[in-house]
Amino acid sequence: MDRRIIKKAGKIADKIIALEAKYQKFTEADFKEETKKFQNLLNLKKKSLDDILIPAYAACREVTFRIQKLKAFRVQLIGAIILHQGDVAEMRTGEGKTLVAIFPAYLNGLTNKGVHVVTVNEYLSERDYLLNKPVLNYLGLTAGLNLRKKNANQKQEAYAADVTYTTNSELGFDYLRDNMVKDINQKVQRKLNYAIVDEADSIIIDEARTPLIISGGKLHNSKFYILVDKFVKTLKNEDYILDLESKNASLTSFGVKKAEAAFKLESLFSVRNT
């Protein structure tokens, strides 16, 4: 990363740390009042998020210390500043990614437009939610947890929170389902605003290679699976390509013709045949 960016973020981090004595005197009620003050400044457009970043991060730093007994170091504050700016902050395991992420989550949560903290699995989402919900609540914001097992009403409640913890796959599937509803009130997500992506390289690059497919209805396909299994066993080497790295198989033009003939289809890739 450009050293100038880190140097600039470092100066901001020093100003955040300089406010430590001020926020040490605050009570829980004071922090909630401070959050309301930040929100009013944003709502009235008197200040931008960048304008209030220093006091907001300083307040959050004190509360995380009170609740989690963890006080963010200068380097962690630099990471938190970079995340707010929309850049990637590389951190090793054990360097406090969960702690770092709560700062931009709180700051962007002040807009009342929603923040998504996206992880690769539900264990991490639930862990981060349980760790950070008390901090956000102490500051006067709400936190929600979006899991696969939740129904539409529970998902709406989770997405309506100031900060929502979820997985990348569930976030994607909810987006697809929202585009299939017949009534706009059945949608669970609201407008997309700001997201913090954990393990960004994995989610944005590796996971993006696997498409999210959602079914339009329930079908009893047990007999069809047997027919497909028999068909696949008739294929020869020239009929398919194996990608061992991604563990995917795809048909060649010869294989496609065989499939269309076997299942009496005009076009294997027609939407009707998905």
Provide the CATH number for the domain around residue 253. Answer: 3.90.1440.10
Is the same domain home to 139 and 187? yes
The Cα-based distances of 16 to 9, 126, 197 in angstroms read 11, 29, 24
The Cα-based distances of 96 to 123, 124, 212 in angstroms read 17, 13, 31
Is the same domain home to 40 and 176? yes
Question: Span 98-121, mean pLDDT?
Answer: 95
Domain count, the chain: 2
pLDDT tops 70 at residue 221? no
Is the same domain home to 259 and 150? no
Domain holding 19, by residue range, is 3-209
Whether residue 70 is contained in a domain is answered as yes
* pLDDT reported for residue 159: 97
Q: How far apart are CA 85 and CA 70, in angstroms?
A: 23
Is the same domain home to 183 and 56? yes
* pLDDT band at 263; cut points 50, 70, 90: confident
pLDDT tops 60 at residue 140? yes
82 phi, psi to nearest 5 deg: -65, -40
* pLDDT reported for residue 264: 87
pLDDT tops 60 at residue 216? no
Which residues, at least 6 apart from 180, have a Cβ–Cβ distance to it below 8 Å?
214, 216
CATH number at residue 84: 3.40.50.300
* pLDDT band at 200; cut points 50, 70, 90: confident
* pLDDT reported for residue 119: 93
Is the same domain home to 135 and 201? yes
Is the same domain home to 106 and 185? yes
Is the same domain home to 247 and 176? no
* pLDDT reported for residue 15: 97
Residue 215 or residue 78, greater confidence: 78
Is the same domain home to 188 and 229? no
Is the same domain home to 203 and 226? no
Whether residue 188 is contained in a domain is answered as yes
Is the same domain home to 22 and 97? yes
Is the same domain home to 158 and 201? yes
Whether residue 216 is contained in a domain is answered as no
Whether residue 97 is contained in a domain is answered as yes
pLDDT tops 80 at residue 17? yes
Question: Span 236-260, mean pLDDT?
Answer: 89
Q: What is the pLDDT of residues 28-65, one digit of tens each?
A: 999 999 999 999 999 999 999 999 999 999 999 999 99
Is the same domain home to 59 and 150? yes
Whether residue 258 is contained in a domain is answered as yes
Average pLDDT, the chain: 91
pLDDT tops 60 at residue 218? no
